[in-house]
Amino acid sequence: MRIPKPAAAFSRNRRGISIPGALAALLCLAFWSVTQPAHAQAPAAKRTILRPGRVLDVRTGELRSNQAIVIENERIAEIASAGEVKAAAGDATVDLPEATLLPGLIDMHTHLTMDLGSLGYSGLGISTAREALHGARNARRTLEAGFTTVRNLGANDYADIALRDAINDGDVIGPRIVASGPALGITGGHCDENLLPPAFHLQGGGVADGVEAVQHKVREVIKYGADVIKICATGGVLSKGDDPNASQFTLEELKAIAADAHRLGRRVAAHAHGAEGVRWASEAGVDSVEHGHLMDDAAIATLKKNGTYLVPTLFLAEYMQQNMERSDVPEFSKQKMRWIAGAAQQNVKKAFAAGVKVAFGTDAAVYPHGLNAGEFHVYVKLGMTPVAAIQTATINAADLLGWTKQVGTLEPGKFADLIAVDGDPTKDVTTLEHVRFVMKGGVVYKNDYSKR
């Protein structure tokens, strides 16, 4: 997804202001943090013991009862039979007898600093600082929805880097963020700024053309804090004047991006709808293809052969079909959305059946943040079991991040990122749309069970 953001850059050029947008955003976040109460309930105890009704092993799909989880500092210290775990003086105990506990969920494709109001021409008047404040609000909503880790793929002027750092420093509440900063794209492509007339001479922050230029851009975004490289390999839906079927970067440019990123320790996520762009991105060595809605059988076979993850982002089409006519999205975007929505589920279903690796991702911002778990029921509708769908947002997503030792399962030594829901999500995956308890790093951020 690409959202226009030219106004702040033009203002800086016209007025000669030298403060970078990310710094301004971080200053605003700091002000926000001291004027808003923190809702997290930081445990004063040296240990916290969770006693849920059931614990889901996401690897096997087994629900285990009579379990206790011991948390020390921010990590899981022990998982054992409830009878074997005795609370000591100073321990805190959280009883969740009616709940099913599972790992915190991971969304591999978000845009926390953007909203429905950022789409199309209405986004031209939103400053980078305001986007960062939107991000602080959306980060909290996302965490409270049960997503303890996200990959943010595309933000203006490094606003997502500022948001990530503010969360890490404890200034605002939100999930763990793997952030990309500006997405890389070609001149006039999906990740450029195409809504203003030529007189503005404005270009997107990630635009680069040619092998040497894309190598430089990869190094530049890493310099300014990018954890992951987001690129636009084809045209998109919400952008003006481009074709989602058309490839944008050349194969040589894509290979140069992937090689530089990997050498410098970053993974690459490639927005790609059209079949050729999906094939080229996979052959170039990217780690994930985002969307893939117009891929053909050859593109699916290429993803399978190369072990490239597919991040499908399907619920957005369902949401937009129901809400498109009352949205502010420009008509050219609505037309492309109608076209792609008709093909997306059919093509992704083929990828599921072919055994392509899948990681959960939503493109949240195209629809409201906090509704991320709506993605699960679409996967089940297209043939996944509920357990397989849950695995896309846990063990698969952790693998794609390269964080398998940190998140994705409930095991000693991993971050104490846990959520709880009523019922059995292995039978009804829509229970994940109603998360009742959220813990991140040993800190409780939501506990609806305590209100009963």
What is the model's pLDDT at position 128?
A: 87
- CATH number of the structural domain spanning residue 205: 3.20.20.140
| DSSP H or E run through 437 | strand 437-440
Say yes or no: 65 and 188 in one domain: no
Strand, helix or coil at 387?
A: helix
Say yes or no: 304 and 390 in one domain: yes
CA dihedral 439, 146, 362, 190 (to 10 degrees): -50
Q: Order of strands across the sheet with 288-294? A: 228-232, 267-274, 288-294, 309-311
Task: Report the C-alpha gap between 244 and 41 in whole angstroms.
Answer: 45
Residues of the chain with pLDDT > 70, as a percent, come to 87
What is the model's pLDDT at position 118?
A: 77
Mean pLDDT along residues 20-48: 52
Say yes or no: 439 and 377 in one domain: no
Q: Is residue 114 part of a domain?
A: yes
Tens-place pLDDT, residues 329-347? 777 667 767 777 778 999 9
- What is the pTM (predicted TM-score) of this model? 0.88
Q: Is residue 36 part of a domain?
A: no
Say yes or no: 90 and 157 in one domain: no
Say yes or no: 308 and 263 in one domain: yes
- CATH number of the structural domain spanning residue 86: 2.30.40.10
Task: Report the C-alpha gap between 134 and 114 in whole angstroms.
Answer: 7
Helix-strand-coil split of the chain, %, nearest 5: 40, 25, 35
Which among 236, 329, 370 has a CA at the least distance from the CA of 291? 236
What backbone torsions phi and psi does residue 185 show, to the nearest 5 degrees?
-160, 175
Q: Is residue 356 part of a domain?
A: yes
Say yes or no: 182 and 264 in one domain: yes
Mean pLDDT along residues 96-122: 91
Tens-place pLDDT, residues 394-426? 999 999 999 999 999 999 999 999 999 999 999
Q: Is residue 127 part of a domain?
A: yes
Find the domain containing 435 and state its range: 47-103+413-451
Report the range out of 85-94, 341-350, 374-383 with the highest average pLDDT: 374-383
Q: Is residue 93 part of a domain?
A: yes
Tens-place pLDDT, residues 301-315? 999 999 999 999 999
Q: Is residue 406 part of a domain?
A: no
Say yes or no: 246 and 345 in one domain: yes
What is the model's pLDDT at position 51?
A: 97
Q: Would you state the structure tokens that stand for residue 63, as one six-digit string?
A: 């629900």
What is the model's pLDDT at position 220?
A: 98
Say yes or no: 276 and 346 in one domain: yes
Least confident residue range of 37-51, 156-170, 225-239: 37-51
Number of separate domains in the chain: 2
What is the model's pLDDT at position 383?
A: 96
Instruction: Specify the pairing of strand 62-65 against strand 47-57.
Output: antiparallel
What is the model's pLDDT at position 320?
A: 73
Which among 55, 64, 103 has a CA at the least distance from the CA of 441? 103
Is 126 a residue whose pLDDT tops 60? yes
Mean pLDDT of the chain: 88
What is the model's pLDDT at position 241?
A: 72
Say yes or no: 267 and 303 in one domain: yes
Is 33 a residue whose pLDDT tops 50? no
Which among 156, 103, 113, 142 has a CA at the least distance from the CA of 417? 103
Which residues are catalytic, by number?
230, 363
Say yes or no: 296 and 395 in one domain: yes
Tens-place pLDDT, residues 239-284? 677 888 899 999 999 999 999 999 999 999 999 999 999 999 999 9
Say yes or no: 109 and 207 in one domain: yes
Q: Is residue 20 part of a domain?
A: no
Beta bridge partners of 228: 267
Instruction: Give the position of tokens 């986004």.
Output: 123
Q: Is residue 351 part of a domain?
A: yes
Say yes or no: 117 and 189 in one domain: yes
